[in-house]
Amino acid sequence: MDFSKDELAKFCSYYKPEKVEKNTILLKEGKICNFEGYVLEGCFKIFYKDEDVREHILYFTIEDRWVLDIGSFVLGTPSQLNIQALENSVILTIDRATKERLYVEMPKVEKFFRIVNQKSLAANQLRMISMLHKNADKRYLDFLERYPTLSQ
């Protein structure tokens, strides 16, 4: 989707830049995710802890991707997830009320996010299929291919 320079500037004006230090917990389970973040620099892991307090990483979010617990953000419910910065990072953040105002003032943006969310759902389905049908070695090779800088 193409945005004019003016539209892009207006769109970006709704977001606030935020520096996040390495190891910072951006979201802790039990808290409501009151932000949506776009990663300009850095990397985050999204994980949950089971009843034995073992950490299970769901996925990583790298530059040029979104970081949030979408369910908690949209529904306003406590998160089951944790989000932690793996390195010093810079993100652009927006809260839910501001995002809703953005949708009203720039309807084109709502269509943009619908497309982003559809692509994200499709990617999550493929990831679930991968978890069910690929062995650990193959999933690790896929991980290295998708996140080459994380394996260093």
List the one residue out of 70, 67, 59 whose CA is nearest residue 127.
Answer: 59
Which H helix or E strand runs over 131?
helix 107-133
Which H helix or E strand runs over 38?
strand 36-41
pLDDT-based confidence at residue 150 (cuts at 50, 70, 90): low
Q: What percent of the chain has pLDDT over 70?
A: 97
Residue 134 pLDDT exceeds 90: no
Q: How many domains does the chain contain in total?
A: 1
More confident call, 111 vs 144 = 111
- The pLDDT, as a whole number, for residue 10 is 93
Length of the chain in terms of residues written = 152
Retrieve residue 73's tokens: 């953000």
- The pLDDT, as a whole number, for residue 123 is 77
* C-alpha R_g of the chain: 16
> Tens of pLDDT along 69-107?
999 999 999 999 999 999 999 999 999 999 999 999 999
Residue 146 pLDDT exceeds 80: no
Q: What percent of the chain has pLDDT over 90?
A: 66
- The pLDDT, as a whole number, for residue 133 is 79
Residue 125 pLDDT exceeds 80: no
Q: What is the CATH number of the domain that holds 43?
A: 2.60.120.10
- The pLDDT, as a whole number, for residue 152 is 55
CA count, 13 A, side-chain hemisphere, 13? 10
Distance CA 109, CA 98 (A): 13
Print the domain residue range for 14.
Answer: 5-151
Can you give the pTM of this predicted structure? Answer: 0.80
Distance CA 123, CA 50 (A): 24
Distance CA 81, CA 58 (A): 9
